[in-house]
Structure 1
Amino acid sequence: MFLAFFVLDILVLPKLFFSTPFSYYLLLVFVVFNGSFNYRVLTKFLILVIVLLLSVLNGAISISVESLENLKRAAQMVLVLSLFFFDWKLVDFSLLYFSLRNILFAFYVYVISLFIIFIVAPGVYENVILSVYPEASSMLSVNLMYSRFSLHFTDPNSLGYLLVFSFVLVLSIRCSMALKAFASLSTIIIIILGTQSRGALLAFMLVVLVHWLIVVNRNDKFKYLVFTILCLAAFLAIYMEAVQLYFELMAQRSKIEEDMGAGLGGGRLDKWRYFFNNININPFFGSGYYLEMDGHKFKPHSDFIRLNLSYGFIFCVTLLSLFGQFKKRFVVLWFAFFVPFLVNTVIDDFRLFGIFVYSFILIKFGGDCVSSPSPSPSPSPSPSPSPSPRRFSLS
């Protein structure tokens, strides 16, 4: 099943062409030959494409040296957003959820296994990553030097956020308590001891809290609270020394950032100051993905900042309007999204953006499949004609 392979590809398979997961190209084939197009979504999609092209053109005029990177990033975003045109009416959600449970379990086993190798045999881990994930090679030595586990990412923070999104998927498809426990413990272990990501830890804590407050049934709240406390107690009992080391490493990172003049949060406060002093008031386009500040490459560490400077106000509003769902079943996903959206990145990485878009659409179409039991069949006195198949719409 393609949708199951799509998740497997995003989570663990190496990138192939133009640093993009192969499943995006397969998705394009599905959309071209058997897509489902909604007028509103198609209109918004075309607006986004036009703004992307205008921004690439403006970037080529103002910063011609990076026009190829701008074009590549625009194409990748178009590929991710093509998920909206997959024909979800063909999906057998029961089979898809069964496949996703197996994939997510295997993913966590895979990550934990590589993390153990990272701890006990860093040289072996380095050789494995260089062989399987060459796209992570540019920052591998730096991450090893700081004892930060990044798997196939260059930035360990991104791995932390990927684990948070994966945990949201586990919650969304109503997995067993055993899988939830394994996923939650694996996520917290890797985030704290591996990635050392403050943002990912905050996102995970918010996801757990919001899920308990809003999603969990009132009758089950106490059970979930006890379950969470027991998991946390077990984690602290086993890894207390490692947790203390984590806080020591955080203190060291803050000291290094201060000595480098980066300031609060690795210089994020300064980046926000720069943004407010240089807001892109042109609503129709920006300068493309590549940004400069005082003649040097500018990495905003915030999708909110990048979307405005790179593509303009209309792009931001149109993009977010594609995800205009804030019902209870979407709340946990939004909390997982907005932390990296504001202080790091989701849209800038196409594993993260892909898993977010996939999760959003899956929750939208598949939510009823897991939130309410199927009605019991009742005998019919006479056969009736089969209704026309429902064509899902994202409006």
Structure 2
Amino acid sequence: MKFNTKAIHAGQEPEKTSGAVMPPVFHTSTYAQKSPNEHQGYDYARVGNPTRTALEKLIAGLEEADECACFGSGVAAIDAIIKTLKPGDHVLSTNDLYGGTYRLFTQVFEPYGIEFSFVDMTNLEEVQSSLKESTKLVWIETPTNPLLRVIDIEAVADLTRKKSDALTAVDNTFASPYLQQPLLLGADVVMHSTTKYLGGHSDVIGGAVASSNEEFMEKIRFQIKTSGAVPGPMDCYLILRGIKTLHLRVQRSVENAKAVVDMLTSHPDVDHVFYPGLKTHAQHETAARQMKDFGAMVSFRLKDDTIEKAKQVMSGTKIFTLAESLGGVESLISHPASMTHGSIPKEVREKVGITDSLIRLSIGVEDAEDLVEDLKQAIEL
């Protein structure tokens, strides 16, 4: 079954009691049992819900995983993954990643004795030298947020297997399974903020963890039952509905992104454009090899490298909305240093290249000419 068909049919079947094509929204907190522990697969809604099950089967199918577990947010999904570790364990992560992930790692779990190292994962020698005997998880974000660096999933996963018994996990939010399937590249775990491309309409918060590692998924299911950071049935329904058009939305967004990148790279006021589709991008060949296409996230800096000019541009757009998040049908413009990555200390941000003048774009599905003209007039204000 091809991906475009899977997005609609993977793991799905008409609802058994009514024949409903779309899974109903099961608004219930508990389920009737014939006798203690004798039921129809569900006993309490924190543990499981039929609408959530339909979503989990769909995401598992798209990521070529045996199993998926859904959460109330992407951060909750990451939280559950780290909770499978114990004090003394070491996590190796990229040094250019989402600010919320960095905050969770350093401010919540580090005080409990889990060690984190942040390295440039585009440098395989640095990855290899940073792996320890105590390394239990290698955390990859690719393309990275917001500098769009591309990490070679297959190479990092191979290094990890050779040197340690750590699992390799990939935050696949920026790419979506339409453009990249980490498990097929050797990763053990894939994570999504389903708020973004999977939901696709900026109207729901959610997260997901998918894997074919049965032992790991047992630990994740335990976290669901014990910590309870689960999505509601209506949230699951909205994400299910969003995924049905994932391939259509992402393809149009990617086409639009290329038009925007063409304008930015030729504009005299733009200093540098971060986009893996550019042949000048340091990891262009890696992106071309492991991704179906180059995505719809774009970052750039202006030649007037000041925060004042960046703010002027971000406040001057009429179609691009100044807002956090990404992956929706509408185009967004944001300021990583003060918004998505504001929780990262300035000296840490700037060391990896997240300067105060950096602007990040999430390209939506509007008309490409309108997006190009809107951004152009904002830059020229």
Structure holding more helix per residue:
1
Select the structure of larger CA radius of gyration.
Answer: 1
TM-score of the alignment, normalized to the shorter chain, above 0.5: no
Structure holding more strand per residue:
2
| TM-score, structure 2 as length reference | 0.23
Larger relative contact order (Cα-Cα within 8 Å, sequence gap ≥ 6): 1
| TM-score, structure 1 as length reference | 0.22
